[in-house]
Each structure stands twice: as structure tokens, then as C-alpha cells.
Chain A
Amino acid sequence: MTATTLPDASRQYRRRRIRPARALLHAFLGATALAWFFPVLWALVNSFRDYDHTALHGYLSLGGFTLDNYANAWNQGELPGYFWNSLVITVPAVLLTLLLSSCAAFVLSNYSRRFNLVMLAVFLAANLLPAQALLVPLFRLYTSIPLPYWISESGSLYDSHLGIVLIHTAFQIGFCTFVLSNFMKAMPASLLEAARVDGASVLQQYWGVVLPLCRPSLAALATLLVTWIYNDFFWALALLSSGDKLPITTALQNLQSAFFVDYNLLSAGSVIVALPTLVVFFLLQRHFVAGLTLGASKE
């Protein structure tokens, strides 16, 4: 009895006592949040301002609002092409990663146990290796794998979108396999056994029973993967040589020189580039958070 009443009493006591502290808490959080939001806000505000106006009156002035920067950034920076490249890399890479990692996770979570741990370690550790540590051999490997012209204009895996898709997939499989195998292990074993008794093949068990149940995890991982792969800067820099094949994040470098003096144009460019991830963030926030913390906490 006392055990249940005591916390209540103390909580009530605390609530009354702590009111000024609550105000302080909100003041602190509000101020910090404002500071946190400010850099993005600043880019957003300046992206709508006319360069001549800010050049004349300084950035601390008001007025000179325009939409021209967006049109200019979009056209001068040749953004549509770069966006297309990002799309052509991100979508297949995410789908392939989810497919392969769910396959691997299915096998690892349902069959033999010791082998399983070793494989998971191999997968998971690969996810954390520094990309630079693979650069030279990978470059060499990519240049020596021939591809038909209709897949890659360069004639090899190097400087092809397929190559970028594959390296992203190889890198991300680890984390996804780990998360999915944890999720699959938590499923009741009787589900698969029932399917097996019904004579379902392995493929039917995977596609028909396990995968539909994994939908929430898959959604969370997909959100995360889209952000990570879209945001990748290094692999495209290292494994693509033609400027017109670069995804948008890596193309930022070119934009920097294209927009050199005009910071308002630079702001508009930044906002446009950030837009897809921000949309993902606002629409799929729950999935994103779930994904980020999936690997970290296991209840």
C-alpha cells in the first residue's frame, strides 16, 4: 500500500514546488532551440533576398525579398540533372539493401546459432569501417570490372551509378541485417513452424510470413537509408569521375564555385538540396527516430 501511495504524494509535492524551475526549463530549452534553428532559418531568409539589395544594405537589413534566387540556383547550378543522379543512386541502393539484408537476417535469425553471431559481427563491423580505408583496392577493382556500354558509358564499374549503388549496399547491409535479425528473432517461432508444417518453402516463409511482419522496421530503415545515401559525399567523389554523373550532395562542390560570390544564391541552393531530406524528416519523423534508435536500444 505505502509503496503505491508514496510516489504519488512525492510527485504532487514536487509539482507544486517546482513551478519556477519549469519556467526556467522552458526558457533554457526555448533559447537553445532558437539557437539550433537559427542557421537553417538564416539560410532560408537569405535565400529569398535580392543580392543587390543585401550587397548595398548589408545582411542585417530588411527587404529586397524575391524568388529569383531559386530559379537561378535551379538553372545555373544545373540542379535537375544532379537530382536525377541522386534519385538513380538512392532508390535502387535502398531497395537492394533492404532486400539483401532482410534475406540475410531471415537466414541468420532462423537457423543455426553460433555461425550466426560470427556472420552478424562480419556484417555489422563492415558498416563502421572508415570508407577511406577501402579506397585504393576498390578503385582498382572497379576499373577492372568491365560493364557493357548500355549500363555504364565508361565501360567499367568505375564512374558508373551501378558501382555507387553496390558500394552503398555493401556498406549498409551490415546495420540493416543486424536490426532486422533482432526484429525477426522477436517473432513467435510458431509462425514459421506453422508455415513449415503447411509445407511452405523457405522462399514462401520469407516473402509470405516474415517480410510482411517486418514492415515497421523496413519503413524505419528505409527512411534512414534514404537520408544516409542521399547525403553521401565521399563515394561519389571517389568513384565517379564525370561531373555530370555526380549526385547532388557531391555536386555541392561545383555549386560552390558556380555561386561563388552570391551568397543568396548559395542559400537558395542549400535550401533546395536540403529539401528532400527535410521533407523526409517532417513527414516520416517517427520512422526516422525509430530507425536511428533501433540499433541502439533493444527492449
Chain B
Amino acid sequence: MVSNAPSPPQERATRPGEGPPRRPRTAARRPGLRNSRGDRATLALMLGVPALLVVCLVWLPAMATVVLSFTRWDGIGGLETIEWVGTQHYTDAFTIYPPFEPALRNNLVWLVALFAVPTVLGMFLAVLLDRELRGGPVYQSIFYMPVVLSLALVGFIWQLIYSRDQGLLNAFLAVVADVPPVDWFGDSDINLYAVLVAAGWRHTGYIMLLYLAGLKAVDPSLREAAAIDGAGPVRTFTRVVFPALLPINLVVLVVTVIDALRAFDIVWIINRGRNGLELISALVTSNVIGEASRVGFGSALAVIMLVISLVFIIVYVSTMLRGAYR
């Protein structure tokens, strides 16, 4: 525990009134603590080191990417070989880069699909499980077990079901109906949806968890009041409980958007994001670490990702901080 190290006398003197009654905790907290010089240095270090790490490894690179997106550079030569090209890469992306449009569309399909099925299903499961129920914890565990698996591994596991020659799905289809084998991950018309089933399998449990936590926080008297007023379970949920879940809804919205935007591992492990599985994240990666190494162009694509995500990050951060500083 705390040792009684003697503090320098002048420090004691600079903080009078620290004796008896404390001000209420909610008031501006301990403003302008008069610490010793050593303490102030410690505090600066305690905040400074993590802040430096975040700024240097996350924020500065993100800003540098924005700058690079207006340039042409091989990424290897010295900084003086960087050539300014203005918005060239952005126009190129939208006009003469064939995979870009499918990637945008796929990301959008990914987002809509995540909302339409796993998010709704996750919420539904949470509502069903938010009560005293025999086996409730078992159900919950099963639903969120996929959440602990990496998306890359999820791709692997579903390969066992989707594989054209050795997969379960085709074997099953061959028994019940005489259809030719389908290459679920390979056929560019359907592989996105096949992948989405796998990704949704994982997303559902996560959403369920978030809503379960949210539902636990809803004041039970709200529901009782609604029940007394004669509202059925559906009406109680749509009119009373759901609106009370506003902060969780925002979090779920942001989590889903960000997940849809950051989706990468699973398509990369299947076919490196080509042939029907184009995603912006995979395009950025293959432009930057692929053979071609088009740094500026890859950065422009990354900036598009960055801008979309920043909108939702702002929503998320302000929701979270408002909650924290209510």
C-alpha cells in the first residue's frame, strides 16, 4: 500500500485546505493539483509515453497517407523522389481502375448484409435471451463462440463446408438434389454471399452481446409500466425498450460500419480479394504490398476508407465520451 514517504515542506505549504471536508466528487475534479516537480514529471511521462506512441504510430502515419495520396512515389526511394500529382489518383480510381467500382459495391453489400441479417438476428437473440431461461447461458455461449475466432480462421472453417470437391454443402446437395457442384468461394457471382454467411455467423454473436448488455441496463420499471398499460411484448420493445437503447444502437451502428469497412482477413485468405471478392481494404493492401507497389494510388484508396470511417468514428467517440462525462 501507500508508504508514508515524507513530502517536502514547501509542497505541504502549497496545498492548504486539503484537510477536512472534501468537495463533492462530481464537481470539477481536483483541479490544479499542486504536485512536487518529480510528481509532475512522472505524470507527464505517464501520459506522454502512451500519447507519443499513439500519435507517432497511428495519427502521423494516417496524416502522411493523406499527403501521399496526392503524390507519385515508389515507397522505397528517398523522400525527394516524391512527385506531386494532385488529385490524379482519385480521378483514376473512379475512372480507369476496374476493380474499384466492384470493391465499393461489395463493401456496401457487406454493410447492408451485416445490418439486414446478423445485426437484426443478434438483437432478436438478445431480446429472447434477456430473461430467466433454462439453458440461457448455454445458448449465449454458443452464439458468441465464433466471436473469439479470427476472421481468417472463420474463412478456413467455412472452407470445409464450401469447398467444391470436398465440402459438406456440395456433398449434401448432391444427395438431396442432383445439381452440379458449386464452387462457393470461387464463383464470382456468389462468393461474396457465401463469405457473408461466414462473416455474419461471427458478427451475430458480437451484436447479441452488445444488446444483452444494453438490455440489462434498461430500467425494468419502463417495461412494467408498458405492461400495465397493456402493451404486448412487440409493442413494448418497439415503443419503449428500443428507444431506450439509443446509445447501444449507435455503438452497434458504428461497430457494424467499421467492421464492414475493415473486412479484410477472410477475403485475403480466400483469394486475396479478387474475382468477386474485391474490397477496398484488399485493394489498398495489394496496391501497396503487391508487386506493383503503387504507393500513391494505394494511399488514395486508403484515404477514401479513412474519410468514410472518420464520419462514424466521430459519431462513436462523441457517443462514448458523452456517456462517460454525463
Contact = CB atoms under 8 A, between A and B. Distances in A.
Interface of A: 6-7, 10, 25-26, 28-30, 32-33, 36-37, 39-40, 42-43, 46, 54, 58-60, 100-101, 103-104, 106-108, 110-113, 117, 119-126, 128-141, 166-167, 169-171, 173-174, 177-178, 181-182, 185, 188-190, 192-193, 195-206, 208-209, 227, 230-234, 237-238, 249-250, 252-253, 256, 263, 266-267, 269-270, 273-274, 277-278, 280-281, 285, 288-289, 292-293, 295-299
Given A128-B313, A136-B68, A296-B213, A253 B160 contact: no
A298 B324 CA distance: 7
B269 A299 contact: no
A270 B156 contact: yes
A120 B321 contact: yes
Given A107-B47, A128-B309, A190-B22, 5 more contacts: A10-B228, A131-B264, A196-B18, A249-B153, A277-B148
Nearest to A25: B128
A201 B225 CA distance: 52
Interface in B121-160: 125, 128-129, 133-135, 138-139, 141-153, 156-160
B139 A29 contact: yes
A60 B171 contact: yes
A190 B302 CA distance: 48
A200 B39 CA distance: 10
B143 A135 contact: no
B171 to A, nearest CB: 5
Contacts of B316: 124-125, 128
A280 B125 CA distance: 23
Interface of B: 1-7, 18-19, 22, 25, 28-33, 35-36, 38-39, 42-43, 46-47, 49-51, 53-62, 64-65, 68, 75, 125, 128-129, 133-135, 138-139, 141-153, 156-161, 163, 166-168, 171-172, 175, 201, 204-206, 209-210, 212-214, 216-217, 224, 227-228, 247-248, 251, 254, 258, 261-262, 264-265, 268-269, 280-281, 284-285, 288-289, 295, 298-299, 302-303, 305-306, 309, 312-314, 316-317, 320-321, 323-325
A198 to B, nearest CB: 5
B313 to A, nearest CB: 5
Contacts of A182: 324
B313 A129 contact: yes
Contacts of A280: 148
